[in-house]
Amino acid sequence: MRSGPLASTRVAVDLVVLTVRDDAFQILLVERANDPFKGRWALPGGFLQEGEDLLETADRELREETGLTGVDLWQVKAYGHPDRDPRGHIVTISFLAVAPRLPSPNAGTDAANAIWQPVMNLSSGQSKASPPSETVGLSPGPKSHDAVSSVMLELAFDHYTIAADAIEYARGKLEQTNIATAFCPPEFTIGDLRHVYELVWGYTLDERNFSRKVLKTENFLEETGGYRGGQPGRPAKLYRKGCATKLRPAMLRIAEEQGHAA
Amino acid sequence: MRSGPLASTRVAVDLVVLTVRDDAFQILLVERANDPFKGRWALPGGFLQEGEDLLETADRELREETGLTGVDLWQVKAYGHPDRDPRGHIVTISFLAVAPRLPSPNAGTDAANAIWQPVMNLSSGQSKASPPSETVGLSPGPKSHDAVSSVMLELAFDHYTIAADAIEYARGKLEQTNIATAFCPPEFTIGDLRHVYELVWGYTLDERNFSRKVLKTENFLEETGGYRGGQPGRPAKLYRKGCATKLRPAMLRIAEEQGHAA
DNA sequence: ATAATAGTGTCTTTTAGACACTATAGA
DNA sequence: TCTATAGTGTCTAAAAGACACTATTAT
**A10-21 and A45-47 beta bridge pairing:** antiparallel
User: Across A34-38, A123-127, A222-226, which has the greatest mean pLDDT?
Assistant: A222-226
d(CA B218, CA A19): 36
Strand C nucleotides with an atom less than 7 Å from a protein beta carbon: 3-10, 15-20, 23-27
| Size of chain A, expressed as the number of residues it contains | 262
Residue-level pLDDT at A11: 97
d(CA A150, CA A259): 30
Residue-level pLDDT at A126: 61
In chain B, residues with a C-beta closer than 8 Å to the C-beta of A262 are 74-75
Nucleotide with smallest C1' distance to residue B248 CA: D15
Asked if A92 contacts A10 with a C-beta cutoff of 8 angstroms, the reply is no
Burial B128-147 (b: 16+ CB within 10 A, else e): eeeeeeebbbebbeeebeee
Nucleotide with smallest C1' distance to residue A190 CA: D6
Q: What angle do CA B183, B186, B188 make, to 5 degrees?
A: 75
Of A145 and B182, the one with more pLDDT: B182
Residue-level pLDDT at A105: 54
Contact assignment for B32 to A1 by CB distance below 8 Å:
yes
Residue-level pLDDT at A8: 75
What 3-state class would DSSP assign to A161? helix
Identity of the amino acid at A107: A
Write the CB contacts of A72 (distance below 8 Å, at least 6 apart in sequence). A97, A98, A99, A179, A182
Over 60: is that where the pLDDT of B260 sits? no
User: Each residue of B209-251: pLDDT tens digit?
Assistant: 999 999 999 999 999 999 998 999 999 999 999 999 999 999 9
Over 80: is that where the pLDDT of A139 sits? no
Residue-level pLDDT at A100: 92
Is A113 buried (19+), middle (13-18) or exposed (0-12) by CB count in 10 A?
middle
Orientation angle between helical segments B207-216 and B190-201, nearest 10 degrees: 110
B237 touches strand C (CB under 7 A): yes
User: Each residue of A34-70: pLDDT tens digit?
Assistant: 889 999 999 999 999 999 999 999 999 999 988 889 8
What 3-state class would DSSP assign to A169? helix
Asked if A165 contacts A212 with a C-beta cutoff of 8 angstroms, the reply is no
Over 70: is that where the pLDDT of A77 sits? yes
